[in-house]
Amino acid sequence: MNKKIEREGKVLLIAYDHGLEHGPSDFNLDNVNPDHVLNIAEESETGIVLQKGIAEKYYPSYKDIPLVVKLNGKTCLGNTNYSPQVCSVDKAVDLGADAIGYTIYPGSKHEGKMFSEFSKVQEKARDYDLPVITWSYPRGPSINEHDPDIISYAARIALELGSDYVKVKYPGDKNAFAWTVENSDKQKVLSSGGSKMEPDKFIEKTKEVMDAGASGLVIGRNIWQREKSLELIKKVKNVIWS
């Protein structure tokens, strides 16, 4: 592994897997172009999360920035809480991955299958010494994915399954999030960014996330859906590495 996703124990990554997960509705004429987002990552010296297809075609021109290859994914068209594996650990290593990303949906009727698929990926990642980042997103008809206890449970599940970092949604309350961090123990907690919000509000959220004891954030739309992305990243970094 050449590049570290962590600096001084803290992490900031740009997520750009939305073309698969959400489709073109998240994009405009600028950010629909992967080079636009990779340029933001390069200029701000921030790592990036990509699916295999984007990594293959675009990442070779940006090899200095840390890369997380997402190994599974799904669309929002199928209405199913199952995310199939679409890239192997070997392939991620070929692409230059510094860590791998994998989504699990605890509570979904496909939970067992996803856990079992994740376990193979997690064990293979250990062979390469690659950190594993788990997107742990509780899903299911009777599940409130914003419930702080459910989010803490989601984080704990990822620890139990062998993940190194868990990416969860911020429950909107820093004391509740501190319990999520406790439940993660040696596994580091990263908050997702969520849909775009006012810059000041986003910085406030970042402060709460870090005050709760989390190790950083993985941010997508709140970075590349705004014109002054670099300005926001600078402020976010100042909070993370304060």
Q: Which residues bind ligand FBP (CB under 6 A)?
A: 15, 17-18, 21-22, 135, 137, 192-194, 219-222
Strands (E), the chain: 6-7, 10-15, 47-51, 67-70, 99-104, 132-136, 165-168, 188-192, 216-219
Active-site pick, 52, 70, 124, 167: 167
Residue 103 Cβ, how far from ligand FBP at the closest point, in Å? 8
Q: Examine the residue annotation and report whether 105 is marked as an active-site residue of this protein.
A: no
- DSSP string spanning 48-61? EEEEHHHHHHHGGG
Distance CA(221)–CA(228), nearest Å, equals 12
Question: Which backbone phi and psi does 72 adopt, to 5 degrees?
Answer: -135, 170
Which of 135/165 has CB closer to ligand FBP? 135
Which of 73/127 has CB closer to ligand FBP? 73
Residue 18 Cβ, how far from ligand FBP at the closest point, in Å? 5
Amino acid in position 228:
K
Q: Examine the residue annotation and report whether 153 is marked as an active-site residue of this protein.
A: no
Which of 71/127 has CB closer to ligand FBP? 71
Amino acid in position 55:
A
CB atoms under 10 Å from CB of 160, counted, come to 10
Which of 103/187 has CB closer to ligand FBP? 103
Residue 195 Cβ, how far from ligand FBP at the closest point, in Å? 6
Which of 76/127 has CB closer to ligand FBP? 76
Residue 212 Cβ, how far from ligand FBP at the closest point, in Å? 17
Q: Which tokens is 218 given?
A: 């993985």
Strands (E), 156-237: 165-168, 188-192, 216-219
Active-site pick, 16, 62, 105, 137: 137
Distance CA(8)–CA(22), nearest Å, equals 33
Residue 110 Cβ, how far from ligand FBP at the closest point, in Å? 14
Let me know: does 12 contact 46? Beta carbons within 8 Å. yes
What residues contact residue 61 under an 8 Å CB cut-off, 6+ apart?
A: 35, 38
- Provide the annotated active-site residues: 137, 167
